[in-house]
Structure 1
Amino acid sequence: MPLQITGALGDPDLIRLPWELPLAEWPQHHLVDLPRGISRHVVRFARLGGKVYAIKEISERYARREYQLLWDLARLDAPAVEPVAYVTGREEGLDAALITRHLQFSLPYRAVMSGTLRPDTLTRLMDALVVLLVRLHLTGFYWGDCSLSNTLFRRDAGAFAAYLVDAETGEMHPMLSDGQRLGDIDAAHLNIFGEMLDLEAGGLLHPSIDPMDTAEDIVSRYHRLWAELTQDEIIEEVDWHRVEQRIRRLNLLGFDVAEMMVRRKVGTGRLIVRPKVVDSGHHQRRLLRLTGLDAEENQARRLLNDLDGFRVAVGLRHEDEAIVAHRWLAEVFQPTIAAIPAGLRGKLEAPQLFHEILDHRWYLSEAAGSDVGLAAAVKSYVDKVLVFKPDEKALLPDEATEPNANNLP
């Protein structure tokens, strides 16, 4: 059977990679050294044309299946890695391969936990994982192997955003039954308990963190969020403020409400309210619509808060929102990012940089007893914080100096 690459190829040079060799034996000049999570399969990162791809050796059946599942998730705008292609017809004895696009600025959980993990950091990671699992369940996706190892995390302001990275055991359904959801939760409980024990054995877990409590906390967090998103609520007919409160709670969790189904309960003077929830990203979409900036949900919330503050500060309360956003982008956001030395901008995404500068400004202003201003905050942040941060972007070698960068054998 001849070598075949099936998918939406963005880079034709993918066919010229050394597919005749086991992935573990690929020459180093094809590869990029990035943090990898724990996987039962061989996984490597390859750079082509300025893009980084994650390549996983896996049987042909599962490569084809996982590729399709990832495309299904992409069509539903679910948080998962982007599928590129799958490779079949390699040399005899070699498995097929699945190619996905590397999610820039993302880290496996062990990289996030490279030092002793503090309880508040663990809480934020677990919150991100729970939101991911709930979002997948709302789309009808059964994961089958929910774990920290099968998840990538990106910093999202003071929290994390989680992305599915391994759909090998997944199944797509029109709607999940309670039994399927609970099966996923049971798998998450078992997997996370094992991962916590592993971190504890490696000295990476804070002494105050109990592995079993953490695994059980995931279950309770999931049930609380699922109930908030899907549970009927009985309210007094005249108390419409309760309806507004429900919508606001969902928005704060990052979920939009497409419509509310309200029906009178027979024989009573009460109403049953059932929200129809769409995907998360309430603030994300508003920021993208107004400014064109693509940010994580908490980053978007923080930037929008600054935009709203700008509206008041410059006396534009009654101006059209799109006009205010354009001025904020040109007068505040872009000059702030441009003030950061070019060699340091790749350490974090621009929305995260802006968020951290706002945080730094707040702490400086608290210490000074008055607002220090954005320019002073940027300079102080660059000199005292940013220069010491590790790069979270995939920093690639210069094509002009890397051997065989454009001439694959």
Structure 2
Amino acid sequence: MSAGVELKITAGGESGSGVGTADVLELPLDLPLLEWPAGYLAALPRGISRHVVRFVRLPGMVVAMKETTDAAAHHEYGLLRQLRRLEVPCVEPVAVISGRTTAEGDPLPTMLVTRHLAFSLPYRAVFSQQLTRDTLTRLIDALALLLVQLHLEGFYWGDVSLSNALFRRDAGAFAAYLVDAETGELHGNLSRGQREHDLEIARVNIAGELMDLQGGGMIEADVDPLGTSELIMAAYRSLWDELTADMTFSASERWRIEDRIRRLNELGFDVEEYALRPRAGGSELVLQPKVVDPGHHTRRLERLTGLRVQENQARRLLHDLDEYRAEVHPGLDEHEAAHYWTTEVFEPMVAAIPEHLKGKLEPAEVMHQLLEHRWYLSERAQRSVSLQEALDSYLAEVLPARRDEDAIVLNPTTSMLSAVNPEDAETPPRRAEEPPSDH
């Protein structure tokens, strides 16, 4: 740094995860990010960005560093902190580094620092050779759900796209996380016009992204970019209406309140508050959900086991936990049974994963795939395959073939593109029947 120039570090990460000043001073801050030596960088797959973004290794963490304007960096840092407090899926802000100059004293852009989201991928890195229609639909559904969650909290995104989100596998589906909040605004609530404008931005951006992929032969030939981009509007509106629309019923049909709440629970939402008002002279009632909170299954699993996973993963693990309780410990309450399931089923499975395979997938995703694999083995063998037998087969035949989704390629000569498009065998879709259970 040049003499007389003050380097400013705004830091406030969660749970002690803020970047240390000493660690920052070890970085080549007097160079543009594009010129940083490879020894500082982690070769992880990157999405498309209008800014220069690099993954950087620091003690105890990998961070994404983005060069931008000072105002934009502080604005995005503040928004991400607010969204994290609201428990909206987004990357964790770590610091803003400003006041950088070259060795000659020329100013350099401010940098926003966020923690790398483990096991996450930009949408281009989700597939291998071609993006299939099914995978594309699941990505768009995940983005629609994220947009609904943001809008419920009063957040206007302003630049909705596949590129501005990261995706984590979630028991056959995907979970989307906001990664770029630079154009965002947080309000008390959003008008219909603001929500529809975000939707239109999403439609246009997704259509453009798919046209770009189509031009490179990276999506199936029969995928219509314009028609496919409309999927997010249908998915968003259907979910928004289910979560927020009024429901009218007669005074004698109060059971429909519980039915509506149960349906929302199945979608993964808790109803924290609702309003009832009379209609038509008191012969009818109108139910209006007031506060809906995503993460119903995630919270239940965490309450029972202490495990914090994605929503669909939680749904899948809870199903296995409930089966385990019914078959192995039918006399125990769910908290006691959950303890035994965690110590007798989940933890031994995690411990059995060899060290060199631990970076392949999150443990909860491995558990989901293991349960799926057991079902396929049982179907093929026409008998109930034990979990241990399925685990042996899965570790020998399935998991080693997957790419490392949490791996950091430390070889500076490795191409970034090679980290984006490795072979990736998708989990086959689940059949309608549930797999046989044999704990």
Paired position in structure 1 for 2:355 = 342
**CA contact under 8 A between 1:146 and 1:184: conserved in structure 2?**
yes
Once residues 228 and 198 of structure 2 are traced to their aligned partners in structure 1, the CA distance between those partners, rounded to angstroms, is 16
> Could you report, residue by residue, the CA deviation over 1:26-64 in whole angstroms, capped at 9, with x for unpaired residues?
011100000000000000001111310000000111011
Paired position in structure 2 for 1:210 = 224
Once residues 379 and 146 of structure 2 are traced to their aligned partners in structure 1, the CA distance between those partners, rounded to angstroms, is 35
Instruction: Write the mapping of 1:125-204 to structure 2, written as runs, cut at 5 A.
Output: 125-204=139-218
Question: Aligned partner of 1:284: which letter?
Answer: T
Paired position in structure 1 for 2:127 = 113
Once residues 332 and 394 of structure 1 are traced to their aligned partners in structure 2, the CA distance between those partners, rounded to angstroms, is 26
Once residues 216 and 182 of structure 2 are traced to their aligned partners in structure 1, the CA distance between those partners, rounded to angstroms, is 28
Paired position in structure 2 for 1:372 = 385
Paired position in structure 2 for 1:93 = 107
The worse-fitting range, judged by mean Cα deviation, of 94-103 and 248-257 is 248-257
Q: Is it true that 1:6 corresponds to 2:10 in the alignment?
A: yes
Paired position in structure 2 for 1:360 = 373
Once residues 149 and 313 of structure 1 are traced to their aligned partners in structure 2, the CA distance between those partners, rounded to angstroms, is 45
Paired position in structure 2 for 1:73 = 83
What is the SS of the residue equivalent to 1:277?
A: strand
* 2:338 equivalent among 318, 321, 325: 325
Q: Is it true that 1:50 corresponds to 2:60 in the alignment?
A: yes
Question: Aligned partner of 2:327: which letter?
Answer: A
CA-CA distance at 1:396 after TM superposition: 6.5
Paired position in structure 2 for 1:16 = 26
**CA contact under 8 A between 1:141 and 1:176: conserved in structure 2?**
yes
* 1:25 equivalent among 21, 35, 58: 35
Once residues 195 and 20 of structure 1 are traced to their aligned partners in structure 2, the CA distance between those partners, rounded to angstroms, is 35
Question: Aligned partner of 1:390: which letter?
Answer: R
Question: Aligned partner of 1:68: which letter?
Answer: G
What is the SS of the residue equivalent to 2:376?
A: helix
CA-CA distance at 1:102 after TM superposition: 0.3
Once residues 344 and 392 of structure 2 are traced to their aligned partners in structure 1, the CA distance between those partners, rounded to angstroms, is 17
What is the SS of the residue equivalent to 2:96?
A: strand
The worse-fitting range, judged by mean Cα deviation, of 36-45 and 365-374 is 365-374
What is the SS of the residue equivalent to 2:230?
A: helix
CA-CA distance at 1:369 after TM superposition: 1.2
In the superposition, the TM-score normalised over structure 1's length comes to 0.94
**CA contact under 8 A between 1:113 and 1:204: conserved in structure 2?**
no
The worse-fitting range, judged by mean Cα deviation, of 7-16 and 340-349 is 7-16
Question: Aligned partner of 1:55: which letter?
Answer: M
Q: Is it true that 1:395 corresponds to 2:404 in the alignment?
A: no
**CA contact under 8 A between 2:43 and 2:410: conserved in structure 1?**
no
CA-CA distance at 1:260 after TM superposition: 2.8
**CA contact under 8 A between 1:142 and 1:170: conserved in structure 2?**
yes
Question: Aligned partner of 2:79: which letter?
Answer: L
Paired position in structure 2 for 1:234 = 248
CA-CA distance at 1:206 after TM superposition: 1.2
Which fold has the larger relative contact order, with Cα–Cα distance below 8 Å and residues 6 or more apart in sequence? 2
Paired position in structure 1 for 2:45 = 35
* 1:60 equivalent among 46, 70, 80: 70
After superposition, the CA RMSD in angstroms is 1.4
Paired position in structure 1 for 2:15 = none
What is the SS of the residue equivalent to 2:385?
A: coil
What is the SS of the residue equivalent to 1:203?
A: coil
- Rate the CA distance shift 1:396–1:34 in 2: closer, same or farther, 3 A: closer
Once residues 186 and 156 of structure 2 are traced to their aligned partners in structure 1, the CA distance between those partners, rounded to angstroms, is 6
Once residues 295 and 259 of structure 1 are traced to their aligned partners in structure 2, the CA distance between those partners, rounded to angstroms, is 25
What is the SS of the residue equivalent to 1:272?
A: strand
* 2:285 equivalent among 268, 271, 274: 271
CA-CA distance at 1:366 after TM superposition: 0.9
**CA contact under 8 A between 2:243 and 2:292: conserved in structure 1?**
no
Detail structure 1 runs of 4+ shifted over 4 Å in the superposition: none
Question: Aligned partner of 2:11: which letter?
Answer: G
In the superposition, the TM-score normalised over structure 2's length comes to 0.88
Once residues 29 and 37 of structure 2 are traced to their aligned partners in structure 1, the CA distance between those partners, rounded to angstroms, is 11
Once residues 198 and 326 of structure 1 are traced to their aligned partners in structure 2, the CA distance between those partners, rounded to angstroms, is 49
Paired position in structure 2 for 1:123 = 137
